[in-house]
Copies of this chain bind each other. A is one copy, B any other.
């Protein structure tokens, strides 16, 4: 970039700043606080980076060892970073840094039975979701948070929290001697089974629910070719749908793919019924014959890696006075079928930060607005994610459902401004999740009517159907 262009940009930037100060008179500066973050996962480390930018002292506690010093656990699903995640990273200048460890996937690669593999693009030209290994991203985020001046205390287990006084108690076990720490504020970023929330949960008038689905998952690996290249198309999200179970594969930088097998816990074809090497091999031979040869150590992976459960967790309130707040999975854990868990957690931080910029030192207002703004959106993405699970497990074989999707797709192509699919609203937009859910419901109601059209199977691509949809909008 030559200097004259840089100059231009600088001038533009100044104008923007002036405008901002003009229109919103208070881009508030905060009094530095002494803050504890419980949990050094993705949300905990990004929140640390945000709060360091505001000038606060940050200590992050984690009951586990430093993930940078240990092997990954073999129980993760690769992440698909999309627009909301990127926006949250961009705000603190990290988008490009993280893109270096991510691989864009602009399409699904569908591996259905008795058909050649085919592609379905995710969105418009240039729209993609990005595959990132959870472990690699987490290590990187901790590095970045540390560089920003965050103090990490690993292997320190929080057992109790004094909510009104923002004190935490750590120790070897629940019954051992405990160490007391007092902070100005505590953020619970300790995941779906949050200890911080656990304390809030026993209070009166705290709403809470956890609902497990009857499908579990297991991590498997497709190693790279000998020359380090990928065995499958690397810019695709690979799916092998099989009715009420499926396999997916997301690319890694090292040429490998992280695969996830989603399978019911119980029933005819289920984790319960695959207990021997022979049964595991037979299962893959029957349902995934072409993948089997790519997964080098199939039965090794299968029996070494745990079978994990998936839960939708909702709760409210998310905050306690101006002392404690839940962020990410600790406030709203969702099933992974929309690829939005991390994106939603990162967006929490983005929205929290907007409240910080708006309300400055008024942490009561910050927390109150944060939870009120985020709760309906967390509920919406939970609902959308659960519906995607139901859709994938029971509807993908239904010809009526597939026809409906085909009609919607055609209509979107013809009228891209009039019919933005819910998937795009969730994945490539930063409008509220609750809006995506609401508009999606309206679209669904329209399509229900359309599907009643006589001979829709023959007329689906007709002008009448198109005009019919237009008339409903």
Contacts and interface: CB of A to CB of B under 8 A. Distances in A.
B202 A207 contact: no
Contacts of A207: 210-212
Contacts of A380: none
A202 B193 contact: yes
Given A205-B309, A208-B210, 9 more contacts: A174-B174, A175-B175, A193-B202, A204-B309, A205-B265, A206-B212, A207-B212, A208-B209, A209-B210
16 contacts: A175-B175, A175-B178, A193-B202, A201-B210, A204-B212, A205-B212, A206-B210, A206-B212, A207-B210, A207-B211, A207-B212, A208-B209, A208-B210, A209-B209, A209-B210, A209-B211
Contacts of A178: 175
A305 to B, nearest CB: 15
Interface in A196-218: 201-202, 204-212
Interface of A: 174-175, 178, 193, 201-202, 204-212, 265, 309
A409 to B, nearest CB: 36
Contacts of A212: 204-207
Nearest to A209: B209
A206 B207 CA distance: 17
Contacts of A175: 175, 178
Nearest to A174: B174
A455 B269 CA distance: 58
Contacts of A204: 212, 309
A135 B204 CA distance: 23
Please indicate which of the listed interface residues A174, A205, A265 has the most CB atoms of chain B within 10 Å of its own CB: A205
Contacts of A208: 208-210
Nearest to A204: B309
A382 to B, nearest CB: 13
A473 B184 CA distance: 65
A47 to B, nearest CB: 25
Contacts of A202: 193
A211 to B, nearest CB: 5
Nearest to A193: B202
A44 B249 CA distance: 52
A210 B201 CA distance: 9
